[in-house]
Structure 1
Amino acid sequence: MWTYKTFDELTKEELYLFLKERSAVFVFEQQSPYHDIDGRDPDSIHISYIEDGELLAYSRIFVTDNGNIRIGRVLVTEKNRGKGFARTLFRNTLTYCQEQYPEKAIELNSEEYIKDFYASFGFKEIAEPYLDSGVIHVTMLLE
């Protein structure tokens, strides 16, 4: 079931699942040591699909200092890839952003290899690629 929750609405179990899978994907799987716990979770909306206590897909959004909406930590757990969850997760995330914040631009930082996925939703690159924690990224925007 898809859920959209503020930090205060999360259960301890949900928060644990999110942090565990974010670490598994972004730190271990991608071999990219960085500080996942960045202080933004308390200000974020956490979008997830959990079935039988297992996290299948997750993203978070928050309002940036410049007033845009930032989508981040987009993931589908390893054993659930190839089942269409990525596109469904991102479509749900984007729809939520557009419904809740219709006047705001939406930004994200994409790993370079997957930028075409985000471009298929209308995102445009707005800066040159850059290296972040050993992975090449591009900044993208949807106005």
Structure 2
Amino acid sequence: MTSTHPYSVDVRRLHAFSAVELYALLKLRVDVFVVEQACAYPELDGKDPEALHLRLLINGETAAYARLWRPADAPPRIGRVLVAPDHRGKRLGDAVMQEAIRVCALHFPGEPIALSAQSHLERFYRSLGFTPTSAEYVEDDIPHIDMQRPAGHS
């Protein structure tokens, strides 16, 4: 079957990446979240080994990414959502989130999905069925809001 999307979807655990692939992925995350956002914080936070790493690939290059994991005693979470700078303006933010929701529903059926959104993206996440579950708070000098998408939301 031929995809109608300009990207392919790759979902795997950390141990399934080659050293070169892992280096490129972590470099992209640091470039976006630490360098571009001028935010010094622990990007390598210990959650990667247990997470699912979802990439949208264009010509073998990571164009968009999201990390999916389940904290203890909490709903599954989507985090570290990004679109690579060279691929912005192609609606890949929506695409990576749609794929992340689909993969969460597959791996964590019947469960709500949580995320911590940068506050300026609240409207975007609302358009995907997420609703606020907290007041705004500052994390790593960036305003955030916790949001959740109900189980089975279509």
TM surpasses 0.5? yes
Which of 121, 125, 130 is the matching residue for 1:123?
130
State the match for 2:81 in structure 1: 74
State the match for 2:98 in structure 1: 91
State the match for 2:22 in structure 1: 15
Q: Deviations over 1:34-73 (max 9, x none)?
A: 0000000000000002334422111110011123101000
**How far apart are the structure 2 equivalents of 1:92 and 1:52?**
18
Letter in 2 for 1:9: A
* Residues 1-143 of structure 1: pairs in structure 2 closer than 5 A: 1-143=8-150
Aligned pair count reads 143
State the match for 2:4 in structure 1: none
Unmatched runs of 5 consecutive residues or more in structure 1: none
Task: Report the RMSD for the aligned CA atoms in angstroms.
Answer: 1.1
**How far apart are the structure 2 equivalents of 1:129 and 1:12?**
38
- Bigger Rg, structure 1 or 2: 2
**How far apart are the structure 2 equivalents of 1:55 and 1:6?**
15
Contact 1:7/1:44 (8 A) holds in 2: yes
Percent identity of equivalent pairs = 31
